[in-house]
């Protein structure tokens, strides 16, 4: 799995070890960035000269939040979506975290401690299995009816499309002009 897709894509599956590793890495990164930011603000100032209220309105602080914290929030969401996929659920279960008090506790227990489905499911092969690293051939996919086809045609092979041909004039020869003139 490419690194960008590993971090930013909400598609696929994560096992518990991958989820815990990523979450702890994010927490560590946020702590390091906070220490660096506070150290840069405090550089050359006495501790008594620093006003905590001015940090919240500081444009550098807002820029730091937008450039660092927001991408980390997306990475955390993508990891949670993959973990829900491993549990056999959709990423909409992430919304449970917005229920006060019980939601974040439920999400933490479900994502961090409960095992995923064994074997492949609708979201991909089991993480860590040999199938997870095997690319799926695109050309080998069978031609099936389109998804908007009637239910009785789903799963059947699609009929080959006939190439449209221009009608020929009554004489049987090729058409020499456009429209009815000259026919």
The pLDDT tens digits for 44-69 are 676 677 676 666 667 777 787 778 88
Per-residue pLDDT for 2 more than 60? yes
Instruction: Between 155 and 131, name the one with better pLDDT.
Output: 131
Per-residue pLDDT for 140 more than 80? no
Measured CA to CA, the distance from residue 145 to residue 151 in angstroms comes to 10
| Within-domain flag for 14 | yes
pLDDT of residue 101: 94
pLDDT averaged over the chain? 78
| Within-domain flag for 35 | yes
Question: 124 — phi, psi (to 5°)?
Answer: 130, 180
Q: Are 38 and 55 in contact (CB under 8 A)?
A: no
State the Cα angle at 34 between 28 and 40, rounded to 5°: 140
Per-residue pLDDT for 107 more than 80? yes
| Within-domain flag for 155 | no
| Within-domain flag for 138 | no
| Within-domain flag for 73 | yes
Measured CA to CA, the distance from residue 165 to residue 16 in angstroms comes to 58
Measured CA to CA, the distance from residue 131 to residue 2 in angstroms comes to 16
Mean pLDDT of 13-33: 93
Measured CA to CA, the distance from residue 119 to residue 121 in angstroms comes to 7
| Within-domain flag for 141 | no
pLDDT of residue 154: 54
Measured CA to CA, the distance from residue 66 to residue 111 in angstroms comes to 26
- Which are the contacts of 71, defined by CB distance < 8 A and separation ≥ 6? none
Instruction: Between 39 and 147, name the one with better pLDDT.
Output: 39
| Within-domain flag for 40 | yes
| Within-domain flag for 174 | no
Q: Provide the token pair at 74.
A: 């997306």
Q: Which domain holds residue 33?
A: 3-45+52-133
Of 54-68, 73-87, 133-147, the least confident: 133-147
Domains contained in the chain, number: 1
Across 21-35, 60-74, 148-162, which has the greatest mean pLDDT?
21-35
pTM of the model: 0.64
Q: Considering the chain, what percentage of its residues have pLDDT values greater than 70?
A: 64
């Amino acid at each position: 799995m490419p690194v960008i897709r590993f971090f930013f894509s909400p598609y696929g599956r994560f096992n518990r070890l991958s989820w815990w590793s990523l979450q702890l890495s994010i927490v560590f990164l946020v702590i390091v960035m906070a220490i660096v930011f506070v150290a840069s603000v405090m550089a050359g100032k006495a501790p008594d000269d620093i006003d905590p209220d001015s940090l919240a309105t500081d444009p550098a602080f807002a820029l730091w939040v937008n450039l660092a914290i927001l991408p980390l929030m997306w990475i955390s969401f993508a990891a949670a979506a993959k973990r829900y996929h491993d549990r056999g659920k959709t990423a909409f279960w992430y919304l449970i975290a917005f229920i006060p008090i019980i939601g974040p506790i439920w999400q933490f227990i479900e994502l961090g401690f409960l095992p995923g489905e064994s074997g492949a499911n609708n979201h991909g092969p089991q993480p860590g299995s040999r199938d997870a690293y095997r690319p799926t051939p695109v050309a080998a996919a069978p031609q099936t009816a389109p998804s908007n086809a009637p239910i009785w045609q789903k799963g059947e092979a699609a009929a080959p499309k006939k190439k449209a041909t221009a009608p020929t004039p009554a004489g049987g020869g090729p058409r020499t002009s456009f429209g009815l003139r000259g026919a």
